[in-house]
Chains A and B, each alone.
Chain A
Amino acid sequence: MRTVVLAKYVPDATADRRFDPADHTTVRDDIESRLSELDEYAVEQAVRLSEQSGGEVLVVLMGPGGAADAALRALQMGATAAVHVRDAALRGTDAAGTALVLAAAVGRAGGADLVLTGMASTDAGTGLVPAMVAHRLGLPFVGYVDELDVAGGTATGARETEAFRERFEVALPAVVAVTDHINEPRYPSFKAIMAAKKKPVEVIALTDLGIAPDEVGFAGARTAVESALRRPARSSGEVVKDDGDGGARMVAYLVDNRLI
């Protein structure tokens, strides 16, 4: 079986995430960045499936030079190889453009039995890309999956939305987006870290995918950010130590401020 994991290199959630004041893109330089934590679940699931029933795991990323670190992380976790789409024209690409590029990269790599993704990125967090990739590839899509098995060319599992939980079955190939409840991503061993150094990472550009520069980036974007303003930081207010009256004082605070 051949699994392709689509992954993103993102600013760390605990770093000072911010926007470029000129073009409102997410600042990607000089900020601690990593393989999106939500994509680690997809990598982990792909690797577990390959450990169970064999096959290779190809990781596809689109991003700036630093994204090589995210590719390396996925390889350390057990992925077989990585493709990194890197092109200056990609700056400003939105969800639709990202899906175009990722789907083309899956096609160029020879397709997949299973395309796995995280449920959303941890930075933009729209969660739109997985279904859009499925559309481009003409494949069925299952999102918000927190249990996933593959056997005999069929994927089975469970998914959950705010309204219901359901068990599903789909014949492969298909695109599946997994949540952070599906597994516990591994911490790579020293051996795995060393082995990853020898794994292939192919860096490709838009021309390799037959995509024109104006189909992506700001030119191809179907959405635009007009302004991005930092909210005033929240500050801590009154702190009381509970000496048996903490509960009553909390209620008094709520009442005094007409909150209840």
Chain B
Amino acid sequence: MSEVLVLAQRDGDEIRRATAETVALARAFGPPALVVAGPWNDGVARSAAAAGPEKVYALSGLPDDSVSALAVAESLADLAARSVAVLLPSTREGKEVAAHLAARLESGVVTDAVRLEPDAEGRPVATQSVFAGTFTVRSRVTRGVPVVTVKPGAAEPGPATEPVVVPLAATPSPVATAVRVLDRSVRPKGDRPQLTEAEIVVSGGRGTAGDFSAVEALADALGAAVGASRAAVDSGWYPHAYQVGQTGVTVSPQVYLACGISGAIQHLAGMQTAKTIVAVNKDPEAPIMAVADFAVVGDLHAVLPKATEEIVARRR
């Protein structure tokens, strides 16, 4: 039976939980084969096996000094053409690989799937959340090998396996190596949960006035991830990787706490599918209030520390 290619999202030597979820999802369509790009060692091998695939393609030889999405796509094109589907992470890189790959395969692509299910013929049907989370769309690839980018939370990871490891060597074309990387800074793996995978997200906006300490303290008391609005990111108060919204990441946690965030449509686009929304805002008329399940009208610099204290007190 043809395999389902899954492109791994790695964090150093660790394969992300979202990848294990996608591997589990892939089983509905065929035996999952995980593609792990970059340096291969025992640590990565263990983490790849923990993700539960039947096979692992260890893709090496990617040029370190060029933008790599195209080189990854070129390396996978032949394998992908023989697969039943290709599933990639719904990240910036994942979508770039998806676009390059689909262009080569003459396949359709569905992005940002929050669910993926087989239809009566076993072909994948994706569920997407669109127009700032106001619509649920079901769509499919109708031509070529389906290429789908999958968001975190689409399935529960399965058990670990003992996959066969097949080495794969990248042979990038001149176009793929044309974009030279002069320097690269990899984001350090923080101590907090991953924003896109966290059960609880505490976000700060312009209302923090640049002081995220109360937001971070509450997040840590809750074991939550920290997010930020674009206003906070634009002001240089928090790194772009933490931006929630249309041009940042989309999160769908159990609880989203918006602190000093007005709730512009572009921000809502990134968090409106959260199970529960809690807002802390000085302005009772802020748009975020209209979507919050619970809201405190007040100064976040007063409210958040009290909430943090209360959580710590309840734990004792």
Contact = CB atoms under 8 A, between A and B. Distances in A.
Given A143-B96, A168-B181, A246-B306, 7 more contacts: A125-B246, A126-B95, A143-B69, A166-B182, A236-B293, A236-B295, A237-B292
Interface centre among B132, B294, B303 (most CB of A within 10 A): B294
Which DSSP category, helix, strand, loop or mixed, fits chain A's interface? mixed
Given A138-B175, A238-B295, A222 B108 contact: yes
B104 A135 contact: yes
Contact of A259 (B98, B110, B255, B272): B255
B138 interface: yes
A227 interface: yes
B107 interface: yes
Nearest to B91: A162
Interface in A21-65: 24, 38
A119 B247 contact: yes
B182 A167 contact: yes
B209 interface: no
A124 B109 CA distance: 12
Q: In the complex, which range does the number of interface residues on chain A fall in?
A: 35 or more
B249 interface: yes
Interface stretch (A81-89, A173-181, A192-200, A206-214): A173-181
Given A126-B95, A228-B135, A251-B307, A221 B109 contact: no
Given A167-B183, A171-B178, A128 B99 contact: yes
Q: Which 7 interchain pairs have the tightest Cβ spacing? A: A242-B298, A247-B306, A222-B108, A247-B307, A131-B99, A135-B103, A140-B178
9 contacts: A13-B269, A119-B247, A131-B70, A141-B70, A143-B92, A162-B91, A238-B293, A246-B306, A247-B309
Contacts of B240: 146, 160, 181
A132 B99 contact: yes
Given A162-B92, A223-B109, A240-B297, A142 B179 contact: yes
Interface in B10-51: 11
A223 B110 contact: yes
Nearest to B243: A181
Interface in B97-154: 98-100, 102-104, 106-112, 125, 129-144
B135 A174 contact: no
A1 interface: no
Contacts of B166: none
Interface stretch (B55-63, B155-163, B273-281): B273-281
B180 A169 contact: yes
A223 B143 CA distance: 7
A237 B277 CA distance: 9
B14 to A, nearest CB: 12
A139 B173 CA distance: 12
Given A237-B293, A242-B303, A250 B278 contact: yes
Interface centre among A94, A222, A252, A253 (most CB of B within 10 A): A222
A233 B184 CA distance: 42
Interface string B245-285: 01101000011000000000110010010001110100010
A156 B182 CA distance: 9
Interface residues of B, number: 93
Contacts of B144: 222
Interface in A119-170: 119-120, 122-132, 135-136, 138-144, 146, 156, 159-170
B103 A236 contact: no
A167 B184 CA distance: 6
B169 interface: no
Interface centre among A156, A180, A230, A238 (most CB of B within 10 A): A180
A126 B307 CA distance: 38
Interface centre among B91, B187, B234 (most CB of A within 10 A): B187
Contacts of A230: 134-135
B137 A228 contact: yes
Interface string A228-260: 111101111111111011111111111101011
Interface in B299-313: 299, 302-311
Contact of B265 (A13, A162, A222): A13
A132 to B, nearest CB: 5
Contacts of B84: none
A151 B139 CA distance: 43
A224 B125 CA distance: 10
B186 A236 contact: no
A14 interface: yes
A2 B180 CA distance: 22
B67 interface: yes
B294 A251 contact: no
Nearest to A253: B294
